[in-house]
Structure 1
Amino acid sequence: MKKTLKVTDILALGFMTFAFFLGAGNIIFPPQAGQLAGDNLLPAMFGFLSTAVGLPLITIIAVAVAGGGWKGLTRDLPPSVATLMAVLIFIIIGPAFAAPRTGLVAYEMAVKPFIADAGQLSLTLFSVVFFAVALLFAWSRGKLIDMIGKFLTPALFAVLAILAIAVFVNPQGDILPAQGDYVAQAFTTGFLEGYNTMDTFAALMFGMLIVDVIRKKGVTDEKTTCTYLVYAGVIAAAGLAFVYISLFYLGATSAGIAAGAENGGAILGIYVHALFGGTGQVILSAIVLLACLTTAIGLISACSDYFSSLTKLSYEKWAVILAVACGVVANVGLNQLISLSIPVLFALYPVAVALVALTFVRKWLPNPRVAYRAVLLVSLVFSFIDAAKFMGIDVSAFNVLPLFDYGMAWVIPTFAAMVITRFVGAPAQQQDAQTA
């Protein structure tokens, strides 16, 4: 008899997926983008939603199409290359950037305002406690859907809904003219800002974790598993879009009370205080702590699951190692961590996007192995140009490339490589026969 999930379990699975995605970057970047976008709010927001909601959802669907795992996504690549890609992505979303950022944002926005003389010691102590709690939840993978999907996330979503309603009912200012790059390039600037959430990377890896959770519920049929994976992705995408739209509008109406705020977290804090007074910080702390904690749990779980499959160390041992590593890196500081992560995102995000795109067109490629190698190599080479430009390196010699000025020089070459490999290259079976 084929095991299926109840509607409540499907909703819990979707809520769990939403909670995994909704972390530090999802909270701190939209308010600042909204404030800078000003009266160009709509194009900037749609650009941001494209990379922060659309791409993760498409990636989750790609994971389902490929059979629910990394091996399916990368089956046409050399195993060593596929493993290297996975390790790099897990390091980025794990101990190097995304996971420590959850602890940092939780401290800066939820705890630090309550500490009179906050310093390095208080950050260190909080990091230890925060990642110890995340480790405790991540320890039992089989209960993730129950602990997060049925309890933590509904509480988080309820508080977010209260904030969203308050923002639209009682905006704290007028929408002012756009600033900076948002004046002339609102959509593309929002599009690139969406990279910072790291959710396309996360979707590649959370897909595997969600499949594991579904199977632990007794669902063994592959087609059914992939269907539930897509359901979870759609629910998560809807929740993320709801949060982003409200936070963008919050930012767009914040210029009067939060002009000059150094980051989106500060904008959010000032705005919530203006809306709710003294209780505002308590509401904000609840949102941030729940959002960051659920994401930290998901990241530690996903990374531990993958690294345990590569080594002799158990899932539990990897969870401890990664939680400790996250706590150490979290002491770097929020602004420093963000500045370090952006060049890496510019370099590797296009490769992830190209991999997802190839998954959907694979059946039309005469030789998928050649196509995957060629397209991913092209996307990597040209993404390095965008990363170098962001770092201040002189790459003006490449300004003839389409979309170079927008920080998206990789798009046209990658698309061209995909088109060429659709019509060039002997079928894989024929090539195998010739080399036999």
Structure 2
Amino acid sequence: MQSLSSRKLTWREYFVVASLLFGLFFGAGNLIFPLHLGQLAGGHWGPAALGFLVTGVLLPLLSVMAIAVTRSEGVFDVGRPLGVGFALTFMVLIHATIGPLFGTPRTATVSFTVGVAPFVPAHYQKLALLVFSVVFFGLAFAFSYHENSILANVGKVLNPMFLALLFLMFLVAFLMPMGNPMHATSTAAYTHGAVVNGFLEGYNTMDALAGLAFGVTVVSAVRQMGQKKSTDVSKVVAKAGLLAMTGVGLIYLLLIVAGAMSLGHFKLSADGGVAFTQIVHYYGGAFGQVVLAVLITVTCLTTAVGLVAAFAQDFHKHFPKVSYHTWLALTTLASFGTANFGLEQIIAWSTPMLMFLYPLAMVLILLSVFSNFFNRDSRIYFFVVLFTVVPALGDMVVSFPKVVSASAFGQSVASLRAMLPLSALGLSWLVPALVGLVLGLAVHFVKPQPQVALQPARVDDED
């Protein structure tokens, strides 16, 4: 009979899992948001960093834990307690957000903004972005179409080089600071609400959503290492995740401080891509900028390949009448189109979607992590999500650019939303979600419901 015990992992194996988690959550695009946060927060960078690390580090780790605890095979299974319709809708929204609408196009626009734009005259920027994105997504499609591992193997070599150069930049920046981060000017929003605004800025990393979509990769790797019990899988993910996310958190913290210090020499930039370019050019000159730009482009291209392939695979799985290659072509073309709106526009229009999706993702992640305490009762999920989704829609509407938020409809929604607690902080969903949790738990304890099984029980999963 097969042994049900899990073997003890070596430190090297923990490091392998940690590296996988690090690669999942840290891409070149994650550079720009903490840098920009540092510029926005100025002297209040400490509280802002605290809020950012919750949504940028802790929540992504919990999203992978949610996959492990519920033994899910993907984001679809996380929403499954609320029915197939909700699960499918949630999956589509997650993949569309981290895929062709915002996440995948951002890989090209970050590469362009950091690597190409500084060398192109202003009046040729749009044309240059068009040509760059054609080549960028053409390569992404080709590598994904043939499921070629060449780029991934190159990335394994270049990504460490990229991180080494990044830490070299940190070393130089802290040895020769542009200014004192504690004395940097803060924007009005961060003068009194640094923690909450840092928390909301962490949404832009999209890592919690990515953790739900790709966390199964990490969990599968842990199971292949001989971890048979779901509790053991969760413990390994937690330990390796702590190691990986400590590294991610350290990079975020250094970037936030570097962004605050840059205000001693530069003005507040429109986005983090511009800030990163300015800082690299200041310390490394044109040569340093070219080298780092090449590495960032390869890193972003590797990320883009993973995103378009994952989108095509998951959509083909749930909509099998359309082939993998057709889904791949559709997501690549859509990403190309979105990328040509530019990084600033992508960030502006992604914010409303993230204001809607992140509250839903957060409550589903936390419910999944603690699901064993209430037998994954679908009624608790129902009340919590119901009381979360309505105010989250309000947060989404008021976060749109003025063409929507300043309209009569937007103003009406804003007036209703203002009646909810914490609405001024962008957290109007929090109190209603807690009310939904109380109601759900009350129903659960009055009339307990049998545990929901996502899939047939497997012998090697039994605790």
Asked whether the two chains share a fold, i.e. TM above 0.5, the reply is yes
User: What is the CA distance between 1:228 and its match in structure 2?
Assistant: 5.5
User: What is the CA distance between 1:203 and its match in structure 2?
Assistant: 0.9
- Give me the whole-angstrom Cα distance separating, in 2, the residues matched to 1:354 and 1:207: 17
Judged with a 3 Å threshold, the aligned counterparts in structure 2 of structure 1 residues 136 and 209 are, in CA distance, closer, same or farther, namely farther
- Give me the whole-angstrom Cα distance separating, in 2, the residues matched to 1:377 and 1:57: 25
**If the length of structure 2 is used for normalisation, what is the TM-score?**
0.83
Find the counterpart in structure 2 of residue 188 from structure 1: 196
Find the counterpart in structure 1 of residue 37 from structure 2: 33
- 1:271-282 alignment, distance < 5 Å: 271-282=279-290
Conserved? CA contact 1:21–1:295, under 8 Å? no
2:390 maps to 1:381:
yes
User: What is the CA distance between 1:264 and its match in structure 2?
Assistant: 1.5
2:214 to 206, 226, 231: 206
Find the counterpart in structure 2 of residue 69 from structure 1: 73
- Give me the whole-angstrom Cα distance separating, in 1, the residues matched to 2:161 and 2:119: 22
Conserved? CA contact 2:367–2:381, under 8 Å? yes
Find the counterpart in structure 2 of residue 434 from structure 1: none
User: What is the CA distance between 1:149 and its match in structure 2?
Assistant: 7.3
1:22 to 20, 23, 26: 26
User: What is the CA distance between 1:344 and its match in structure 2?
Assistant: 1.0
- Give me the whole-angstrom Cα distance separating, in 2, the residues matched to 1:293 and 1:190: 28
Task: State the percentage of identical aligned residues.
Answer: 34
Find the counterpart in structure 1 of residue 167 from structure 2: 161
Conserved? CA contact 2:65–2:238, under 8 Å? yes
- Give me the whole-angstrom Cα distance separating, in 2, the residues matched to 1:320 and 1:222: 39
Find the counterpart in structure 1 of residue 422 from structure 2: 403
Larger CA deviation: 277-286 vs 349-358: 277-286
- Give me the whole-angstrom Cα distance separating, in 1, the residues matched to 2:428 and 2:373: 26
Find the counterpart in structure 1 of residue 95 from structure 2: 90
Larger CA deviation: 301-310 vs 9-18: 9-18
User: What is the CA distance between 1:13 and its match in structure 2?
Assistant: 4.6
- Give me the whole-angstrom Cα distance separating, in 2, the residues matched to 1:283 and 1:222: 46
Larger CA deviation: 342-351 vs 306-315: 306-315
Find the counterpart in structure 1 of residue 448 from structure 2: 427
Larger CA deviation: 353-362 vs 41-50: 353-362
Find the counterpart in structure 1 of residue 84 from structure 2: 79
- Give me the whole-angstrom Cα distance separating, in 1, the residues matched to 2:150 and 2:431: 41
Judged with a 3 Å threshold, the aligned counterparts in structure 2 of structure 1 residues 210 and 360 are, in CA distance, closer, same or farther, namely closer
Larger CA deviation: 36-45 vs 129-138: 129-138
Conserved? CA contact 1:160–1:243, under 8 Å? no
Conserved? CA contact 1:141–1:213, under 8 Å? no
Judged with a 3 Å threshold, the aligned counterparts in structure 2 of structure 1 residues 196 and 355 are, in CA distance, closer, same or farther, namely same
Larger CA deviation: 274-283 vs 231-240: 231-240
2:269 maps to 1:268:
no
Find the counterpart in structure 2 of residue 358 from structure 1: 367
| Structure 2 counterpart SS, 1:423 | helix
Larger CA deviation: 103-112 vs 135-144: 135-144
Stretches of structure 1 lacking an aligned partner (at least 5 in a row): 431-436
2:318 maps to 1:310:
yes
Judged with a 3 Å threshold, the aligned counterparts in structure 2 of structure 1 residues 361 and 8 are, in CA distance, closer, same or farther, namely closer
Residue-by-residue CA offset, 1:160-194 (whole Å, 9 max, x unaligned)? 22222222222111231322200010100111111
Find the counterpart in structure 1 of residue 304 from structure 2: 296
Stretches of structure 2 lacking an aligned partner (at least 5 in a row): 452-463
Conserved? CA contact 1:375–1:414, under 8 Å? yes
Residue-by-residue CA offset, 1:70-101 (whole Å, 9 max, x unaligned)? 35423312112101110111011111111111
- Give me the whole-angstrom Cα distance separating, in 2, the residues matched to 1:353 and 1:53: 13
Conserved? CA contact 2:37–2:256, under 8 Å? yes
Residue-by-residue CA offset, 1:217-261 (whole Å, 9 max, x unaligned)? 786946476565545544442232122111101111011221142
Larger CA deviation: 418-427 vs 370-379: 418-427
Find the counterpart in structure 2 of residue 319 from structure 1: 328
Letter paired with 2:169: L
In angstroms, what is the RMSD of aligned CA positions? 3.0
- Give me the whole-angstrom Cα distance separating, in 2, the residues matched to 1:6 and 1:367: 33
Judged with a 3 Å threshold, the aligned counterparts in structure 2 of structure 1 residues 356 and 218 are, in CA distance, closer, same or farther, namely closer
Larger CA deviation: 92-101 vs 357-366: 357-366
Moved >6 Å (runs of 4+)? 1-6, 217-220
1:108 to 104, 109, 113: 113
| Structure 2 counterpart SS, 1:183 | helix
**If the length of structure 1 is used for normalisation, what is the TM-score?**
0.88
